A and B are shown apart, each in its own frame.
Chain A
Amino acid sequence: MITILIVEDESAIAELIQAGFEKAGYAWDYAADGKQAADKIEVRTYDLVLLDIMLPEIDGYELMEYIEPLGIPVIFLTAKGTTSDKVKGLRMGADDYIVKPFEIDELLARVDSVLRRYNKGQTLLYAADVVIDTQSRRVMQNGQEIMLTPKEYELLLFLVRNKNSALYRETLFERVWMEDFTGDSRTLDLHIQRLRKKLNWKDRIKTVYKIGYILEVST
């Protein structure tokens, strides 16, 4: 299992990231300052380090110098958002640089992308009888490819990534269509119906009263 070390002195943010990683199926470990992080890295190896720069004791840049020779991929996660800060971080050998405030989905996508680069990532997502290859954007069901439109694919991906959670209509729409929800959910409902039909998932994609939809998959 992929294990990620979160080095972040703000517990509120650390918890937020942990929630995201749990949902995405990554194991995590947590260090509240640079010293703790160095100790943890010494003891075991991680697949990725998510590193804040402004840390008590040892700051992120110093820690980076320590991690770099070990070959562990690093993503800086910091409030320092100027171009020169980014360049400095990337020059030091970081694989990516995320500026606060960030959205958890963006963080997960970047983590995926870095892990893929190291051939560690999950390019295949499984849900019941369906396999999604996120790299080639192909969907297979029982060895047969299912042809989906781009929006249908995005919708399926979001449902699978958030499987067994009741998802609000508004948010689903915003995430897939990247537009503000105007109160008209017909487009979304139509796409859900088409997915149910194409995958024969009438029983899996359920309507939740007053909320939206849920993809139920036994784990």
Chain B
Amino acid sequence: MKFSTKLILSMTILVAVLFSVGGTILISRNFKHSLETAAAQNVEQHLLERYAIESNMINYILSGESYSEDKVADYAKRLSGYTGGQNKVMALYSDAGKVLYTNLPPLSDKNMEAILSQEGNTYLIRQADGLKYMLLTSQLEIDKNMVLLVSAYDITGLFSERDRQLQDFLLLDGIVILLCVLAIGLMTHVLTGPIQKLNNTSLHIANGAYKERTRIRSSDEIGQLSRNFDLMADAIEQQIDELQLSVRQRDDFINAFSHEIKTPMTAIIGYADILRTSATDKEKQIRYSRTIYQESRRLEELSRKLMDLMFCSEENLTTGPQPVYTIVHRLHQQMEPLLEGIRLSIAVEPASVVADASLLDCLLRNLILNAKKADPKDRTIELYGKIKDQAYRFSVEDSGCGIPPEELARITEPFYMIDKSRSRAMGGSGLGLFICSKIADLHHTKLHFESELGIGTTVWFELEVAKDI
């Protein structure tokens, strides 16, 4: 059952019960009160009737006559016909149970028995001939003769008044319940509207519409829920975007990687196949084997770069203070044979930086090899190290071919090469700068490229200076 239906039903039942019970109690109390008033009046009336009969009979006896049942009946008859238009309804019974006089409406024997046996100031209410009567009974003693007087008073008016009140109340009750349903319905609609909206939005989000928000602007709990819900949706959307981006990046990487690995493999297999199938002439043999050699070197370079890349992860990161001098000295020794006559000029301020030694080494080595590939005109690569605003800035400068400005944004993408054939000839894998930027990320720093076509390139990055050595 819907929440609004539940609310409407429960509220309506509550109001109906409370109102009906209250109204009924009020009416019945009212009725009881008028019944008591009527009873008091009737008791008085009954006493009057009784005295009237008694005194009359006593006077009669005092005048020398003797008691006779006929006389009593005769007097009762007169009394009942007496006061104004309204007849008195009464009955007289002798001690032996004989009816002396009656103008009572017909009542069953059982009822009569109950009426006759009641004592004191009690009364009974019985229905006869469609009318309601209040019946009172008392015993008269006239000259040692016992007579039972039964008076009946018409109280139909009291009952019909009560019935009328009940009818009116029922009508009122109906109207109140109807109004109640309408009012509560309206109220729950206003109250549950935002909940419905939350519900719809969460369904939409579950179905993939991650951009949907509830945006309920109220200061109550539902408004708060909505704001928190929207915050949650923001977080989820961001997470999903990041996930999708990383999946896309991974797919791109795998695609590029399989291309990079399958191309040399195809060439190696193909040329080797030609060589082993038929005896080719000397010139072709040399050309094919050279291609096989070059493509194998390319595969080897790729596998080496992949190993580097595998080590670029948080788990393998062990940062600590690294004396710049030690790192640069080792680098210089390693690089010398690889630079093929290009001079590596080093000018570093002594300090220690917070870094992972082997990754920093890898980063600088890659930057220097890249500078070498740019073919510096003065055949020199410069490596600087300076303390600048509490950070240590490494920069690698060359006077090579430079990077076109429109390519700058993409050079750190995996397998991106500005000039593929030239890069191939230089033994490039397209992974060098990608690895460099990964290492920079791991050190919470960024690579900055400043380059001018035909003039040269400067790459710099900053590391934290270690406090004490």
**Distance to closest chain A CB from B287 (angstroms):** 9
Q: Restricting to B383-429, which residues have a CB under 8 Å from any CB of A?
A: 420-421
Q: Is the interface of B mostly helix, strand, loop or mixed?
A: helix
When chains A and B are docked, how far (Å) is the Cα of A19 from the Cα of B275? 12
- Decide if B267 touches A104 in the complex (CB within 8 Å): no
Q: Is B276 an interface residue (CB 8 A)?
A: yes
CB distance from B212 to the nearest CB of A (A): 30
User: Considering the chains assembled together, what is the distance between the CA atoms of A170 and B276 in angstroms?
Assistant: 8
Determine, out of A42-50, A142-150, A159-167, A195-203, the stretch whose residues face the partner at the interface: A159-167
Segment of A9-17, A65-73, A120-128 in the binding face: A9-17
Give chain B residues whose Cβ lies under 8 Å from the Cβ of A13: 263, 266-267, 270
- Cα A170 to Cα B270 in complex, Å, equals 17
Interface residues in B259-307 by Cβ distance below 8 A to A read 259, 261-267, 269-271, 273-274, 276-280, 291, 294-295
* A167 in contact with B278 (CB, 8 Å): yes
Q: Which residues in A have their C-beta under 8 angstroms from that of B261?
A: 79
Contact B295 A12 (CB under 8 A): yes
Given A16-B271, A81-B258, A100 and B266 contact (CB-CB distance below 8 Å)? yes
Asked if A15 and B263 make an inter-chain contact with CB atoms under 8 angstroms apart, the answer reads no
Complex: how many Å from CA A168 to CA B277? 6
B255 at the interface (CB under 8 A from A): yes
* Cα A152 to Cα B365 with chains together (Å): 59
Instruction: Decide: A104 near B258, CB < 8 A? Known: A13-B263, A79-B263, A166-B279.
Output: no
Residues of B within 8 A of A102 (CB): 266
**B276 touching A103 by the CB < 8 A rule?**
no
Of residues 13 through 55 on chain A, the ones whose CB sits less than 8 Å from some CB of chain B are: 13, 15-16, 19-20, 54
In the complex the two chains form, what is the Cα distance from A208 to B274 in whole Å?
A: 17
Question: What are the residues of chain B within 8 A of A16 when measuring CB–CB?
Answer: 266-267, 270-271, 274
Chain A's nearest CB lies how many Å from the CB of B265?
Answer: 4
Inter-subunit contact A79/B277 (CB<8 Å): no
Render A97-118 as a binary contact track against B, CB cut-off 8 A, 1 for contact. Answer: 0011111110000000000000
A152 to chain B, nearest CB (A): 20
Q: Kindly state whether residue A191 has any CB partner on chain B within 8 Å.
A: no
With A166-B279, A168-B279 in contact, is A9–B267 under 8 Å at CB?
no
Q: Which residues of A contact B277 (CB under 8 A)?
A: 162, 165, 167-168, 171, 175
Bound CA–CA A162/B274 (angstroms): 11
Which of B255, B269, B270, B278 is within 8 Å of A54, CB to CB? B255
Chain A residue nearest in CB terms to B291: A12
Q: How far is the CA of A166 from the CA of B277 in the complex (A)?
A: 8
Chain B residues within 8 Å of chain A by Cβ, number: 26
- A interface size (C-beta, 8 A): 32
A56 to B279, CA, bound (A): 36
Q: Determine whether A217 belongs to the interface, using a CB cutoff of 8 Å to chain B.
A: no
Cα of A20 to Cα of B421 in the assembled complex, Å: 22
In the complex, which residues of chain A have a beta carbon less than 8 angstroms from the beta carbon of B271?
A: 12, 16
* Beta-carbon contact of A168 and B278 below 8 Å: yes
B274 contacts which chain A residues (CB < 8 A)? Answer: 16, 19, 104
Instruction: Note all chain A residues with C-beta closer than 8 A to B421.
Output: 11
Contact (A100, B265) CB under 8 Å given A19-B274, A80-B258, A171-B277: yes
Q: How far is the CA of A16 from the CA of B295 in the complex (A)?
A: 13
A15:B291 contact, CB within 8 angstroms:
yes
Given A12-B291, A79-B263, A80-B259: A101 touches B278 (CB 8 Å cut-off)? no
- Determine how close the nearest CB of chain B comes to the CB of A207; give it in whole angstroms: 13
Cβ–Cβ contact A104 & B273, under 8 A:
yes
Given known contacts A13-B267, A16-B270, A80-B255, is B262 in contact with A100 (CB within 8 Å)? yes
A78 to B271, CA, bound (A): 18
Chain B residue numbers with a CB within 8 Å of A11 are 421
Interface residues of B in 74-123 (CB under 8 A from A): none
- Between A and B, 16 residue pairs with Cβ closer than 8 Å are A11-B421, A12-B264, A12-B291, A13-B266, A16-B270, A54-B255, A56-B420, A79-B259, A100-B259, A100-B262, A103-B269, A103-B273, A105-B273, A165-B278, A166-B278, A175-B277
Extra A-B contacts (18), CB below 8 Å, given A16-B266, A104-B274: A10-B267, A12-B264, A13-B267, A19-B274, A79-B255, A79-B259, A79-B262, A80-B258, A81-B258, A100-B265, A101-B266, A102-B266, A103-B270, A105-B273, A162-B278, A165-B279, A170-B276, A171-B276
Residues of B within 8 A of A (CB): 255-256, 258-259, 261-267, 269-271, 273-274, 276-280, 291, 294-295, 420-421
